[in-house]
A and B are shown apart, each in its own frame.
Chain A
Amino acid sequence: MVNSEKKGPDIQKLLAPAALVILYIFFCVFGQNFFSGSTLVSILDSTYYVGLMAFGITFVIVTGGIDLSIGTNMMMSALLGGYMLANGANIWLCLVCMVAIATVIGFINGTLISRLKLPPFIATLGVMMMTQGFGSIITRVQTQRFPSSFDENGAYKTIFYKTANGFPSGIVYMLVFFVVALVLLKKTRIGRYTYAIGSNEEAVRISGVNTIKWKTLVYVICGFFCGLASIVYAATYTTIIPGTGNGLEMNAIAAVIIGGTSMSGGVGTMSGTLIGALLMSVLKTGLMSMGLQGHYQTFFTGLVVILAVLLDIYRNKRAARV
């Protein structure tokens, strides 16, 4: 009895990576030109910004909260960075400012939620709309453009996106911060408190921990990762269009859910999030290589999210069996 229970969780942990591999193989067989280096690079391209946003929001979701503003936060930071660049600022300064701005928005979210006790959904919804509008207001609804790789300031692209001979350096960037996020979540005090607050916030508060400070920090981390995502988004897509970004948070949240994090908090892993982000990119690119256009992607991604949650519920039921 003890042995079979011990085996259970291990198999479940492998489920998401296994699904990723199976899906990849499926598309290699049924897709057109799927099994190629350039397709792999395309898959990675669309993972960077979603992955980084997802790493940040994993912290938030593990505490049982939610952050709807990550998409527009990322866009606004990118917009403002492009605006500064257009007005003559040094590109590296712009990139640093983008991260700083996004972190400040994270701090605002955190303060609203933990200090002023607004429900996370409502607070981040409001901030989402405000950041969406703010970016447009400052840039006067003008599209902002970042330099291309062959432009004068194009070096940032080599670091954050792709090198001249096609190596996807963005993956290095993403993995570096994946490790940072992983260490934060698993090895540091903020990580432990994140899980604790997610499991039982009241108990943590009563035992003397300053939950307000730590919960705010969680949202600050989320904002910081949005800033990182904005750098790689700018490097990947170059053209930043005002008023967009709404909806990208759903991709990040879906990635986190698919990776096994529970919306009710207390449970979740960073590697699960990474797998979830990769899975969604594989799905998106793979469906298209099978000739199924855009609408199928959204349909199947939604289906995968539901299946992932059902699996999670089933897993919890089994674990709770006496």
Chain B
Amino acid sequence: MITGNGIVKTFKQRGSVLGGREVRALRGVDFSIAKGGAASFIGESGCGKTTLGRIIAGLETYDGGEIAIDGVPMSSLTPKQRQPHFRKIQLIHQDPYSALNPTRTIHQTLRAPLALRAKQTGRSRTWMDERAAEVLSLVGLDPATVLARYPHQLSGGMRQRVVIARALTVDPEMLVADEAVSMIDVSLRLGILALLKDLRERLGVSVLFITHDVATARYIGGDGDLYVIYRGQVVERGPVDTVIADPVHPYTQSLLSAIPVLHGLEQPGEQPVVPLEALEAGQDDAGCLFAPRCPFRGERCETERPLLRLTEGVPQEHACFYPERRSVIARPMSEV
């Protein structure tokens, strides 16, 4: 449904005395997400996954590369012509509270995009009200109780559902969930995740899940690709279960090793990888971006930057000269 090639994004920081500094948020990223499919982006904060998600949702510009939606290259369109395409992709924010206008009731919040839709498709007032009730039911909320409320009267989980309902009012083809559950209580997270999964099945909506919590990515996008992003570059990409069980890039292995092990319920992985402590690396040293922290770095890594590609014997794409499968994640106790 959407593909991107060589996406580059640079932020110019307006530094005061030192003059502007450039931050390479994305360094030539490729991605593709099928209609009704799923994808997940994982990485640490500042790696560029949020920026990429926002670019995909049309909320951020990009400085290089091509994006095509439903086969139509965006570069061939004017900014105004691009809007209806990007509108098919809706972003679900991390913070459900700031994503809703605190001075408007849920009904008012839903009415605005519905009014737009009604005008576009020539529908009536009654249709708007019915559709509002419909999207609320789709996300598991009772319209009668919720419509007249203000956001602060709803719990975090309910608010996030309202945000999803609002996204559904424009009949999107894809939802980008950026850390959509990290600010919600643990016991309620699964409900939202299950909802997103359900919407995929029922409405055929694709879901792009951006998170630092790999297990949640697996829950929704288990049948799609997992992209591991480090400092603006995709360092590993492949089917979710493959990357989790048999990661080959040292960074992926570090990330997965860092996931807390529920001792008593599971046992630690066999070969956990701990990255080295590194001082502030320069922006654009030649060589692999992860090299300063990589416990397995070789000579080649310091001078040449590996590109994302397939090599023999490894099912998933990776950006490493010395990929090696290591079993790092925790396993249930019963597997002993």
Do these two chains really belong together in a complex? no
Which residues in A have some Cβ–Cβ distance to B below 8 Å?
A: none
Residue numbers of B with Cβ under 8 A of A are: none
